[in-house]
Structure 1
């Protein structure tokens, strides 16, 4: 092999090694949910994405009343219509008070409000407040987790629910293989 070919082979190997480490850090969808309304009709999805060791959730919904609606992760992976109380309270493994404005820290299940426009659609993305491995362990404990959309906005401070009103849509979070 000539010196040129050796240098080229070394550069190619280094480039490929760089691609491999970049690929390993690529965002990866690890869980998802189909969100349904009280009539059982699918109205949206939630995708849970591991990005560099942090878990994010991307929620997209359609067909909801215009306005601001709370979105929370709930402690039981069960969505029995019409009121979805089967999902239990907010996912709160650390026993914190509710809301991003809470001085003691929020529930793991506290997510930002979603804005539903005149088109009756909306989306929101949030980072869960824990490392991916820790958040996934809580999501997939013995009784699972649900994602719930509420009738009203979350005020981000009232414990334990944020004055978010009734539950109008729900989806069980499921782990994706791979």
Structure 2
């Protein structure tokens, strides 16, 4: 009987420890976590998708749902200013870089907090992307001048500072609280 009680207690302890581990895992959903959304637009104002940022355990989860975009591979980045003035969206500033790193996930001195993977858009004009960026916060995303999501014309080489040779900015959206 005593062995059965000790065994049951041990199993319950392990089960509770596993539950706590799940809650601490980076990227795990958080009840009541803040969310931000941006409508992506071209320079002529056409809506070409949405981007969202969600608070998750240990960071932010970014998702992009693009539609009506040129097919191909496009660099995508969170930029440090919440402005998307046409025609070239340069008012969005440089990449969001709260940790003062170099550009690119392949750069030994990188990446920026705003460096996202390339967005691959099919011949139907659609593309999706989802990634969790550890250590980033909603407070950082919504600093004094906000932030924006920018889609570039070319693929990001994931290494060259400051923007991965990803070319012109073809779509932009300002994050706002959802």
TM range (shorter): 0.7 to 0.9
2:72 aligns to what? 67
Distance in structure 2 (CA, Å) of the matches to 1:99 and 1:55: 18
Q: Structure 2 matches for 1:71-82, cutoff 5 A?
A: 71-82=76-87
Q: Please give the root-mean-square deviation of Cα atoms over the aligned residues, in Å.
A: 1.9
2:162 aligns to what? 160
Q: Structure 2 matches for 1:138-153, cutoff 5 A?
A: 138-153=140-155
1:169 aligns to what? 171
TM-score (norm 1): 0.80
**Structure 1, 26-35 or 81-90: larger mean CA deviation:** 26-35
Distance in structure 2 (CA, Å) of the matches to 1:58 and 1:28: 15
Query: What runs of 5+ residues in structure 2 fail to find an aligned partner?
Result: 1-18, 24-28
- 1:149 is paired with a residue whose SS is strand
Q: How far does residue 95 in structure 1 lie from its aligned partner after superposition? A: 1.4
TM-score (norm 2): 0.80
2:105 aligns to what? 100
- 1:58 aligned onto 2:53: no
Distance in structure 2 (CA, Å) of the matches to 1:49 and 1:123: 16
Aligned length: 152
Q: Is the 8 A contact 2:58 2:135 kept in 1?
A: no
Query: What runs of 5+ residues in structure 1 fail to find an aligned partner?
Result: 1-17
Distance in structure 1 (CA, Å) of the matches to 2:175 and 2:111: 20
Q: How far does residue 26 in structure 1 lie from its aligned partner after superposition? A: 4.1
Distance in structure 2 (CA, Å) of the matches to 1:150 and 1:119: 18
